[in-house]
């Protein structure tokens, strides 16, 4: 008999680690092929992890709450006589797929003088790795333009036409960014940040390195509320949220200002503007803030947008969203008003370059043709990355967004 060491596989785009939530087996249990042995949690979702062999569990490589790096041992199984495997190997499952680790000094296909500097594991999805292998490309040599340097399929294809070796740049943390923690007296409870909350902490630290500029505006929301009533009637519902209308307004404005529907690659100092709009919707969950992504938002009507929101928000809150439903947004919207908040200051999510926020609609006295009247008023805030957009760009976008919302009935179809 031989032992099978199952390594934690890459379960999504750019996922580097996962937390063990629960073991569904114990040492001594007999497992079958594709039996789910553990539940793990990434910063995006919870995943049931199957094992690709049959045998007897010999070692559980961690306890619930432990965080494991992708490629590290998850579980060891003593293979039964009926198993097709005959030697200790690492896990290899089709979905989620396991991928090979690329470590310093272990890439035989990379010449020593190629100029490639490997600083750890290459971030790439299983499909991207498969494409690279089919094209004979050493993925370690490809410059990644995705989130956190992730290699995309487009990067692999571009490498074929211009095979320049990748040189990774090590990131350092300045001493000033590390604070000194001092204990204070009194009764207290300490807990370690895990899962989504840990990911939020890392993301916000990165986000606040962006030089933000913001513009605030208040508009007459009469048309928006009329549009909401029309949408409810169109969908044959008693009541609907204004969120799909706000998202539709963002889409219309972004199509006129593509410089905000973009992603900025800091390392390469390149801005990519997109024709298609992938809207991120900030969503509060029990585990923390998550941002499901509405793909091809420009193709959706308000009613279709509403239905898509329901699906994505439910998936995010239940932690069942797929990686593609939580990655790749080109612009994000947050609705402060859904919590009864007048307004807030949103934080841009890198590598995006802009974010819009909407507050609570409330009755206010405003001047209409020189006469004071009471009207519903919607507060708006938009933040942009000042490295990419100036105040003039920001002002133009906010003006367009306001104009669209002042005729919100046109968004209903």
SS3 readout for 255-285 = HHCCCCCEEEECCCCEEEECCCCCEEECEEE
Q: Please give the pLDDT value at position 149.
A: 64
What domains can you pick out in the chain, each with its CATH number?
3-79 (2.40.50.100), 100-169 (4.10.320.10), 211-411 (3.30.559.10)
Contacts of 246 (CB under 8 A, 6+ apart): 333, 335, 356, 358, 405
DSSP state of 298: G
Task: Take residue 243 and report the two structure tokens written for it.
Answer: 């969120």
Tell me how far apart the alpha carbons of residues 3 and 171 are, in angstroms, rounded to a whole number.
Answer: 38
Instruction: Give the whole-angstrom CA distance, residue 313 versus residue 159.
Output: 37
Provide the sign of the torsion angle of the four alpha carbons 50, 290, 228, 255, taken in this order: negative
pLDDT of residue 148: 56
Question: For tokens 């539709």, what's the residue?
Answer: 248
What is d(CA 390, CA 354) in angstroms, rounded to the nearest whole number?
12
Distance CA 363, CA 1 (A): 75
Place of tokens 């959706």: 300
Does the pTM surpass 0.75? The reply is no
- Cα–Cα distance measured from residue 91 to residue 40, given in angstroms and rounded to the nearest whole number: 15
Residue 1 pLDDT: 67
Residue 56 buriedness (CB in 10 A; 0-12 / 13-18 / 19+): middle
C-alpha span between 84 and 72 (Å, rounded): 23
Tokens standing for 146? Answer: 């995705």
Q: How far apart are alpha carbons 138 and 147 in whole angstroms?
A: 20
Active site residue 386: yes
Q: State whether residue 181 is helix, strand or coil.
A: coil
Catalytic residue among 101, 386, 393, 407: 386
> Is 390 tagged catalytic?
yes
Q: Which residue in 394, 396, 391, 375 sits closest to 218, CA to CA?
A: 375
Cα 45 from chain centre: 11
* Separation of alpha carbons 36 and 198, rounded Å: 26
- The pLDDT profile of the chain, 413 residues, written as one tens digit per residue, is 688 999 998 776 567 788 888 899 999 999 998 898 998 887 667 788 899 889 999 999 999 888 888 889 999 999 874 444 433 334 443 334 333 333 323 333 333 333 333 333 456 665 677 677 666 676 666 777 765 566 777 777 777 665 544 443 334 444 444 556 778 888 888 887 777 777 777 778 878 889 999 999 999 999 999 999 999 999 999 999 999 999 999 999 999 999 999 999 988 999 999 999 999 999 998 888 899 999 999 999 999 999 999 999 999 998 888 888 988 999 999 999 988 999 999 999 999 999 999 999 999 999 999 999 999 999 999 999 999 999 999 999 999 999 999 999 999 97
What pLDDT is attached to residue 88?
A: 38
Q: Which residues have a Cβ under 8 Å from the Cβ of 142 and sit 6 or more positions away?
A: 132, 151, 155, 156, 159, 166
Q: What is the DSSP letter of 299?
A: G
Which strand (E) or helix (H) includes residue 239?
none
Determine what percent of the chain falls in helix, strand and coil, rounding each to the nearest 5: 25, 25, 45
Active-site residue, from 34, 66, 310, 390: 390
Q: What are phi and psi of 233, to 5 degrees?
A: -65, -40
pLDDT for 330: 97
With contact defined as beta carbons under 8 Å apart, do 375 and 221 qualify?
yes
């Amino acid at each position: 008999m031989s032992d099978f060491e199952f390594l934690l596989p890459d379960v999504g785009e750019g996922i580097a680690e996962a937390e063990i939530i629960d073991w569904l087996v114990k040492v001594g249990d007999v497992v079958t092929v594709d039996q789910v042995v553990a539940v793990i949690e990434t910063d995006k979702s919870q995943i049931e992890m199957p094992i690709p062999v049959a045998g007897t569990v010999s070692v559980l490589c961690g306890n619930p709450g432990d965080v494991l790096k992708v490629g590290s041992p998850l579980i060891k199984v003593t293979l039964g006589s009926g198993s097709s495997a005959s030697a200790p190997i690492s896990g290899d499952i089709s979905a989620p797929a396991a991928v090979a680790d690329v470590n310093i000094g272990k890439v035989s296909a990379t010449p020593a003088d190629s100029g490639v500097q490997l600083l750890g594991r290459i971030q790439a999805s299983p499909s991207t790795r498969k494409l690279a292998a089919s094209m004979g490309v050493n993925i370690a040599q490809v410059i990644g333009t995705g989130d956190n340097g992730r290699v995309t399929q487009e990067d692999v294809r571009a490498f074929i036409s211009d095979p320049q070796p990748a040189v990774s740049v090590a990131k350092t943390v300045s001493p000033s960014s590390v604070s000194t923690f001092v204990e204070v007296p009194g009764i207290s409870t300490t807990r370690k940040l895990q899962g989504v909350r840990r990911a939020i902490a890392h993301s916000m630290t990165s986000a606040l390195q962006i030089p933000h500029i913001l513009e605030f505006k208040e508009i007459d929301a009469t048309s928006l509320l009329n549009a909401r009533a029309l949408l409810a009637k169109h969908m044959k519902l008693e009541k609907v949220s204004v969120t799909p209308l706000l998202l539709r307004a963002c889409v219309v404005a972004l199509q006129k200002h593509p410089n905000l529907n973009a992603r900025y690659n800091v390392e390469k100092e390149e801005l990519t503007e997109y024709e298609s709009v992938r809207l991120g919707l900030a969503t509060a969950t029990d585990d923390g803030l998550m941002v499901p992504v509405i793909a091809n938002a420009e193709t959706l009507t308000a009613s279709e947008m509403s239905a898509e929101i329901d699906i994505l928000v439910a998936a995010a809150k239940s932690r069942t969203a797929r990686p593609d439903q939580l990655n790749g947004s080109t612009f994000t919207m947050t609705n402060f008003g859904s919590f009864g908040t007048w307004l807030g200051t949103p934080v841009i999510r890198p590598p995006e370059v802009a974010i819009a926020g909407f507050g609570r609609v409330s009755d206010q006295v405003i001047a209409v043709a020189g006469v004071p009247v009471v009207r519903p008023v919607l507060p708006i805030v938009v933040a942009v990355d000042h490295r990419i957009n100036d105040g003039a760009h920001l002002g133009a976008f906010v003006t367009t967004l306001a104009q669209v919302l002042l005729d919100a009935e046109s968004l209903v179809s």
